[in-house]
A = this chain, B = another copy of it.
């Protein structure tokens, strides 16, 4: 695929940029670079200075931080058209979260000052930025509360339903993360992730072989999510 496409023609462009004119997109285009990242590759490192606004066009990435106990904690996953670190770029000097590619991915790195310039100049664009930030943070906050108010079975059920509906739009898919990473996403131990997955398999709710998962009883799974 063509990496260094002009923003004005980019088919991965988010609606966030709809309010920019062709001239403004050209300005952005001059100040961005597009980079391919291999699976497992580091995109941003927690603590590094923020110089760019990162935008995911292809792949899947995780945002994580290190808790006080030294354990990794996954704050959220990002899909194509998601903005990485949008919650930090405008008010922090250094990245708060590390970002790692879960599969081969492609990101655009837009010079942060060029973007800020756009925000100041184009009022409709700044309103859109505000709406995007609000949406992202609302989602993280409500997801976090939802996870923490559920028991372990409910958490796993929620995660699987989300994968199926939000990320893969299919009842069968390959898990993009390890059991350990699942545990880091929903705040439990890897042992219990495995235990509950085995339980679901025993109960005929899912098929699971290695990373390949198929939801065979979505009704039941949704019920477990809602009641947990």
Contacts and interface: CB of A to CB of B under 8 A. Distances in A.
Interface of A: 65, 67-69, 73, 75, 87-88, 90-92, 96, 116, 119-121, 123-124, 126-127, 129-131, 133-135, 137-138, 140-142, 144-146, 148-149, 187, 226
B116 A75 contact: no
A134 to B, nearest CB: 4
A143 to B, nearest CB: 10
Contact of A96 (B130, B133, B138): B138
* Copies of the polypeptide in the assembly: 2
Contacts of A148: 144, 148, 187
Nearest to A228: B68
A87 to B, nearest CB: 6
A134 B90 contact: yes
A136 to B, nearest CB: 8
A148 B141 CA distance: 13
A99 to B, nearest CB: 16
Contacts of A68: 146, 149, 226
A131 B90 contact: yes
A145 B144 contact: yes
Contacts of A67: 145, 149
B123 A119 contact: yes
A68 B228 CA distance: 10
A65 B145 CA distance: 10
Contacts of A138: 87-88, 91-92, 96
Contacts of A134: 87-88, 90-92, 133
B137 A141 contact: yes
B127 A120 contact: yes
